[in-house]
Structure 1
């Protein structure tokens, strides 16, 4: 076996939405001297199709969405426009 129960669900999500997902585990499962352990799941798409990638931070019990600085700045600008 060797798989967490959420991995098949993440794989189904990537195939259904055609979105790549990268999960950074912050649960102590990385080896000594490593802070994070990564898991990447991509949809089964042709090589010409670049899927959007979502990065999730797994902490025991839940996931957080991680945004790049550029994406976070865009989201903040959009929120400011909606509040105006």
Structure 2
């Protein structure tokens, strides 16, 4: 258990930040799932419309450090390639 006042405050801060990070990660995962669903259903037009939103979501998550930037770029690249193949 934390002994100092600053450590106690830090524990509170970490708890709130954990909730924020979980929410962001969930939002990012849901966006990926939605895109994969569009790809499976071969809805190219809808996938192309959703692509900028997905890119934005991935970059926001990468910027905040929840996933690495390379991971976000790789996901965007792979999804774009799949859309092109439709």
Q: TM-score, normalised by structure 1?
A: 0.25
Look at both structures and tell me which one has the larger radius of gyration over its CA atoms: 2
Bigger fraction of residues in helix: 2
